[in-house]
Amino acid sequence: MIQEFPLHSVEKTCQLFGVSRSAFNKAEKRINERCLQEALVLEEVRQIKKVGPTGISQS
C-alpha cells in the first residue's frame, strides 16, 4: 500500500486510511508472508512441470 503513496510517510498514510501504525504493520507482514508462500508454490509448480508427472513422489 505504501508503494502507491511514496510521497507520504507511513504515519501519514495510516492517518489518511484511519488505521493505526500497528494495524498497518500487521497487514503488511501478512501480505509479505502471502507473497512468499505464493512464490514458493509457483517455484514448486515450475519444478514439477520440468520433471513431469512421472517425477512426482507418491507420499
Task: Quickly count: other Cβ atoms within 10 Å of residue 5's Cβ.
Answer: 13
Name every residue whose Cβ is closer than 8 Å to that of residue 56 and which is 6 or more positions away in sequence: 48
pLDDT (tens digit, 9 = 90+) per residue, 18-57? 999 999 999 999 999 999 999 999 999 998 888 776 665 5
Domain ranges of the chain: 8-48
Q: Please tell me the distance from the alpha carbon of residue 37 to that of residue 44, in angstroms, as a whole number.
A: 11
**Overall pTM > 0.85:** no
The reported pLDDT for the residue numbered 57 is 56
Opening angle at CA 56, ends 50 and 57, nearest 5 = 145
